C-alpha cells in the first residue's frame, strides 16, 4: 500500500528517536531519500528535537543546594500530610452525595419502570356463570317490580342509623 507524505511525517518523531520497527524505519528512510519536502521537515524536526533534548532537562532544575532545600521542604509537607488522620466527611460532601443520589434515582426510575403501564390496573372481569349460549330468562314485569321494592325496603338506610365505620 502506498503511503502519503502526511503518513510519513506522522512517523518522523519515532524515526528521529529511533523508536520505529526496522521495517518502518527502512520505509521512512527510503521515502526521505526521494522526497525533498519530507526530508526538509525531517531536518527541522531533528534540529528541534536536539534543542529540546538539551534544554528541557534543565527546565525546573536548580543548583544542588537550592534543589535540596526545595525538595526537603516538599518532603516535610508530604510527611506532615501523611500523618494527618483522614478527615471526616464534611457537611457539603454529604449534601452533594444526597443530591447526587436523588438525581440518580430520578433518572433511573423511568428506565426501571420501562414496560410497565403507568395507568391503574383494570379490575378483573366477573366470571360468567352461565355457559355461553344459555338462553336468558326474562322475569315477568310484575315479578321485577316486586323484587325491586323488596330490595329497596331491605337495603334502604334506616333513619337515625349511623354509617358503619
Partner 1 sequence: MTEVDCEAAVARCLRGEQAGFDSLYDQFAAGIYRLCYGLLLNREDAEDVTQEAFVYAFKNLHRYDARRSAFKTWLYTIAISRCRNMYRRSRPGLVDLGQLLQIGLPAPDGDTPEAMFAYQTAQEAVERALHSLTPRLREAVVLRYGHGLTYREIAEVMGCPQKTAESRVRLAHDALRGTLNQGLLEELVSI
Interface positions with partner 1 (CB under 8 A) = 9-14, 17, 19, 44-45, 47-63, 67, 70-71, 73-75, 77-79, 81-82
How many other CB atoms sit within 10 Å of the CB of residue 13?
13
* Residue pair 16/45 in contact by the 8 Å Cβ criterion: yes
**Cα–Cα distance measured from residue 10 to residue 19, given in angstroms and rounded to the nearest whole number:** 13
Nearer CB in complex with partner 1: 77/149: 77
Considering the complex, what minimum distance in angstroms separates the CB of residue 48 from partner 1? 5
Q: Which CB atom, from 81 or from 163, has the smaller least distance to partner 1?
A: 81
Task: Please count the CA atoms within 13 angstroms of the CA of 81 that sit on its side-chain side.
Answer: 5
- State the minimum distance, in angstroms, from the CB of residue 73 to partner 1: 7
Q: Tell me which DSSP letter residue 56 carries.
A: G
Q: What are phi and psi of 11, to 5 degrees?
A: -90, -5
**Residues 11/28, Cβ–Cβ less than 8 Å:** yes
For partner 1, the closer of residues 37 and 127 by Cβ is 37
Q: Smallest distance, Å, CB 20 to partner 1? A: 10
| Closest CB 29 distance from partner 1, rounded Å | 17
Residue number, 43 or 146, with CB nearest to partner 1: 43
Q: Which residue has the cell 330490595?
A: 151
Distance, in Å, from the CA atom of 111 to the CA atom of 115, rounded to the nearest integer, reads 9
3-state secondary structure of 37: helix
To partner 1, the closest distance from the beta carbon of 105 in angstroms equals 29
**Residue among 65 and 133 whose Cβ is closer to partner 1:** 65
Amino acid at each position: 500500500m502506498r503511503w502519503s507524505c502526511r503518513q510519513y511525517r506522522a512517523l518522523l518523531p519515532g524515526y528521529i528517536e529511533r523508536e520505529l520497527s526496522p521495517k518502518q524505519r527502512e520505509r521512512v528512510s527510503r521515502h526521505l531519500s526521494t522526497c525533498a519536502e519530507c526530508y526538509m521537515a525531517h531536518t527541522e524536526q531533528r534540529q528541534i528535537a536536539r534543542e529540546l533534548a538539551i534544554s528541557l532537562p534543565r527546565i525546573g532544575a536548580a543548583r544542588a543546594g537550592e534543589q535540596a532545600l526545595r525538595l526537603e521542604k516538599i518532603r516535610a509537607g508530604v510527611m506532615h500530610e501523611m500523618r494527618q488522620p483522614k478527615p471526616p466527611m464534611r457537611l457539603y460532601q454529604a449534601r452533594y452525595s444526597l443530591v447526587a443520589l436523588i438525581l440518580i434515582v430520578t433518572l433511573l426510575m423511568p428506565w426501571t419502570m420501562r414496560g410497565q403501564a403507568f395507568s391503574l390496573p383494570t379490575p378483573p372481569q366477573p366470571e360468567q356463570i352461565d355457559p355461553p349460549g344459555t338462553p336468558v330468562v326474562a322475569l315477568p314485569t310484575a315479578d321485577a317490580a316486586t323484587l325491586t321494592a323488596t330490595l329497596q325496603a331491605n337495603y334502604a338506610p334506616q333513619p337515625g342509623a349511623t354509617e358503619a365505620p
